[in-house]
A and B are shown apart, each in its own frame.
Chain A
Amino acid sequence: MKMNGARIMLECLKKEGVDTVFGYPGGTVINIYDELYSFKEIRHILPRHEQAGVHAADGYARATGRVGVAFATSGPGATNTVTGIATAYMDSIPLVIVTGQVPTALIGNDAFQEADIIGITRSCTKHNFLVRDVKDLATIMKKAFYIARSGRPGPVLVDLPKDVQIAQTEFIYPETIEIRGYKPNLVGHPKQVEKAVDLMLTARKPVIYVGGGVVLGNAAEVLTSLARKLAMPVTTTLMGLGSFPESDPLSLGMLGMHGAYCANMAMTHSDMIIAVGARFDDRVTGKIATFAPHAKIIHIDVDPTSIKKNVRVDLPIVGDVKDVLTKMLRQVDKNREKVAEFKDALAGWHEDIAGWKAKHPISYKQSTTIIKPQFVIQKLRELSDEDAIISTDVGQHQMWTAQFFEFNKPRTLLSSGGLGTMGYGLPAAMGAQVAFPGRQVITICGDGGVQMNIQEMATLVQNRLPVKIVILNNNFLGMVRQWQELFFDKRYSQTCMEMPIDFIKLADAYGAKGFSTSKPADVEKVIMQGFKEPGPVIMEFKIAREEKVLPMVPAGASLNEMVLNA
């Protein structure tokens, strides 16, 4: 059957199993929206800003493991998506973004609302396409979804000129596609796996270092089995939180700049690091020259460019982490005797770790007069559902959440790790709530970040999305203020948010509920009130203004040079 390009694009989404799109209309996507008007298979959520639309699609993707989809119009609509796309790119989140473009005949003429979004997003997408002929559209859409979700996932942008949306052709969705230059290596080499297990079993001080790849690759379960079978301690990055239960005694918690003392000490003293789906980011390694000086490194990653990019690697395995870990588990099962011996030999290592854990656990000084942010996070964990989904913005509250909210399940923490995007939390929670209307979705924000996408309150109320917005309000851009305190002589340049916001009135203006307290004794009450509300809620906690995130590895210092009390 002949259809126009706009309709074909929607039919392609249907073929890919997409049932939700976050999008914002405009002049060059009006044909798409006209087709959408009678296209009942897709639920369309209208955010109040295109950036939030992409973050919402990203939150949807992180929470579900499916590809998130967003629409935007050409020009400013498209450029507004860029922060969202870059956020997803840095954290390897599968998205397909469809932007409208001016008619092909006008491209390059500085037409009204024209932007070279292909050029602009070239370095923050996994790939992007400009559709110049409607006959190519179905194949391009198929490729876009395949590229977005396979290998190391990432965002793919499809730029669709208005005349291509109008042009008609036969709709044939290709069953399979072949991309000569794109053949992700998913299967771990069996010989390398064998070697890796042999090498691993020679360790006496092993650490499994887990990144977001384990969450993305749905490998949390097999990772947990492997770690438990060998009694190996596990530390995770911010992106890896939830891939190994933090309630497990083998968990060291998060490592890195604001990681646990025991995790950073374990890395520094380790003789064997098994890195899984992690990329040795500078926030994780500290000073590279002194990073894990005694360790042999086994690195498992689906993306060969991650391997040996920042640190030397003794044994690389390129492949899907789930495939590789499953093979390793099988190999371990073949070596029962060696495994028993290996586990016995770890006794001393476990003692060292227990010592570090006891010496400097993640902690804070409680107060009866002023709310400590860490206390709010602990209470949230205590009072929220076991399977609650938490999103964060970026800054102090994000690190407190990582430190004090115990994550035990994958895909329960949505946070911008790589790009560090303020304003991510609220729309990401919105996307997750759309995906899981029945689950508790909580976004934990600071007073700075929450104002970067606060307009999405309207979207929450309109769509009856009962996201619980927790604001840890210190009237500061707290993380930068902390750096200014520690490294810039307390010169608080432009980090004080002098103008206090009445968040209760703000919630009210959007038709939502707002609660606020500055008393530690009321924290529990406010959380319970907020959780009981059937709709979206703001819960504001006026916290100790100059509370710091500790411990901390100063930028450029070694992992074991932690500031514990400052």
Chain B
Amino acid sequence: MQHTISVLVENEFGVLARVASLFSGRGFNIDSLSVAPTNEEGLSRMTIVTRGDDNILEQITKQLNKLIDVIKVIDFTDGSAIEREMALIKVSAEDDSRAEVLRIVDIFRAKIIDVTPKSYTIEATGNPLKIDAILELLRPLGLKELVRTGSVAIGRGAKGWTG
């Protein structure tokens, strides 16, 4: 089962390598990983999408917590977090397909951010499933290039999750 884990880490030299090599060294999967500084000085937050059964997930969170530079780990179980991902999508758009692309972009509340006579570049934001859905519709029209950020997640409700 897919899990989204947030990891609050010291913004130290090598911390990304520590986390990444923990996953590779122990044979855990990474579906996506994104990292950037938070509002708190010296802290970064990673969002890792991984998969495994309950035992594996327990090991992943425990092993992450064991890293000295890791301050907190949270495994967002279904529904407890809002997840967003951004994709930049370059798609062929000539003749009749130009209108079709625009319709899809409109339906998904995406944006055209670059345009040429032969292509559109689209910025789409949303739940990863929504990104999957727009890609499915665009793929038959000729996908030229795709960049996804990987998920970021934040817990629902008023309470902030801080170091």
Chain A residues in contact with chain B, CB under 8 A? 118-119, 122-123, 126-127, 130, 132, 147, 179-182, 303-305, 308-309
Contacts and interface: CB of A to CB of B under 8 A. Distances in A.
A149 B158 CA distance: 40
Contacts of A123: 21-22, 25
A126 B69 CA distance: 11
B59 A305 contact: yes
Contacts of A127: 68
A180 B10 contact: yes
Given A123-B25, A181-B71, A305 B14 contact: no
Interface residues of B, number: 22
Contact of B69 (A132, A181, A303): A181
Nearest to B163: A180
Interface in B1-49: 9-10, 13-14, 17-18, 21-22, 25
B80 interface: no
B18 A122 contact: yes
Contact of B66 (A122, A130, A180, A303): A303
A49 B46 CA distance: 41
Given A118-B14, A122-B18, A122-B21, A179 B68 contact: yes
B17 A308 contact: no
B62 interface: yes
B153 interface: no
A304 B65 contact: yes
A304 B63 CA distance: 9
Contacts of B58: 308
B57 to A, nearest CB: 11
A119 B17 contact: yes
Interface of B: 9-10, 13-14, 17-18, 21-22, 25, 55, 58-59, 62-63, 65-71, 163
Contacts of A147: 68
26 contacts: A119-B14, A119-B17, A122-B14, A122-B18, A123-B21, A127-B68, A130-B13, A132-B13, A179-B68, A180-B71, A180-B163, A181-B9, A181-B10, A181-B67, A181-B68, A181-B69, A181-B70, A181-B71, A304-B62, A304-B65, A304-B66, A305-B59, A305-B63, A305-B66, A308-B55, A309-B59
Nearest to A304: B62
Contacts of A118: 14
Nearest to A180: B71
Nearest to B72: A181
Given A130-B14, A304-B65, 18 more contacts: A119-B17, A122-B17, A123-B21, A123-B25, A126-B68, A130-B13, A132-B13, A181-B9, A181-B10, A181-B67, A181-B68, A181-B70, A304-B62, A304-B66, A305-B59, A305-B63, A308-B59, A309-B59
Contacts of B63: 305
A272 to B, nearest CB: 22
Listed residue (A126, A181, A182) with the most chain B CB atoms within 10 angstroms of its CB: A181
A305 B69 contact: no
Q: Is the interface of B mostly helix, strand, loop or mixed?
A: helix
A89 to B, nearest CB: 12
Contacts of B25: 123
Nearest to B24: A123
B113 to A, nearest CB: 35
A305 B22 CA distance: 13
A148 to B, nearest CB: 11
A8 to B, nearest CB: 20
Contacts of B10: 180-181
Contacts of B55: 308
Listed residue (A118, A127, A182, A303) with the most chain B CB atoms within 10 angstroms of its CB: A182
Contacts of B59: 305, 308-309
A118 B58 CA distance: 27
Contacts of A180: 10, 71, 163
A130 B9 CA distance: 18
Contacts of B17: 119, 122
Contacts of B163: 180
A304 B65 CA distance: 9
Nearest to A123: B25
Nearest to B9: A181
A130 B15 CA distance: 12
A182 B68 CA distance: 5
Contacts of B14: 118-119, 122, 130
Nearest to A307: B62
Contacts of B18: 122
A41 to B, nearest CB: 29
A227 B14 CA distance: 45
B67 to A, nearest CB: 7
Nearest to B60: A305
Contacts of A122: 14, 17-18, 21
B162 to A, nearest CB: 12
Nearest to B8: A181
Listed residue (A182, A303, A304, A305) with the most chain B CB atoms within 10 angstroms of its CB: A305
A118 B17 CA distance: 10
A179 B12 CA distance: 13
A289 B83 CA distance: 38
Contacts of B65: 304
A126 B17 CA distance: 14
B76 to A, nearest CB: 20
A194 B59 CA distance: 26
B156 to A, nearest CB: 25
A232 to B, nearest CB: 29
A215 B8 CA distance: 34
A180 B8 CA distance: 11
A147 B14 CA distance: 18
Contacts of B70: 181
Nearest to B70: A181
A177 to B, nearest CB: 12
B40 to A, nearest CB: 11
A7 to B, nearest CB: 25
B75 to A, nearest CB: 15
Contacts of A119: 14, 17
